[in-house]
């Protein structure tokens, strides 16, 4: 897995907010700490937790626009052009 330095490096490089956010369902703090890349998108996602993928936290950037999305299936998010979609 990725270490804290990789998370900080990606957050700094792409100006991503890596602050924890509480889950909308259970209130548990979710930390966007897992770097990922897809096509021209870069981001951080939180580790999955017991509430399921509809409550996952993802922070992504394309060009210089930052989006915070809850409950996004990464594959479907990019396949559907960024529309919020439960897969």
| Number of other CB atoms surrounding residue 81 within 10 Å | 7
Which of the listed ranges 11-15, 22-26, 35-39, 53-57 does the model predict with the highest average pLDDT? 22-26
In a domain, 85, yes or no: no
Write down the pLDDT at residue 34: 92
Write down the pLDDT at residue 20: 92
In a domain, 86, yes or no: no
Mean pLDDT to the nearest integer, 18-40: 90
CA distance 12 to 36: 14
CA distance 53 to 65: 23
In a domain, 34, yes or no: yes
Domain enclosing residue 50, as ranges: 4-79
Per-residue tokens: 38: 């897809």
Domain count, the chain: 1
| Number of other CB atoms surrounding residue 51 within 10 Å | 16
CA distance 63 to 14: 9
Strand bridging mode 34-38 / 21-22? unpaired
In a domain, 71, yes or no: yes
In a domain, 84, yes or no: no
31-87 per-position pLDDT tens digit: 999 998 887 788 899 999 999 888 888 888 875 454 554 445 454 444 444 444 343
């Amino acid at each position: 897995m990725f270490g804290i330095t990789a998370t900080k490096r990606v957050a700094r490089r792409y100006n991503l907010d890596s602050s924890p956010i509480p889950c909308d369902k259970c209130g548990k703090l979710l930390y966007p700490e897992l770097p990922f890349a897809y096509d021209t998108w870069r981001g951080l996602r939180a580790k999955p937790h017991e509430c399921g993928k509809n409550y996952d936290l993802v922070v992504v950037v394309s060009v210089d626009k930052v989006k915070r999305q809850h409950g996004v299936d990464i594959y479907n998010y990019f396949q559907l052009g960024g529309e919020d979609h439960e897969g």
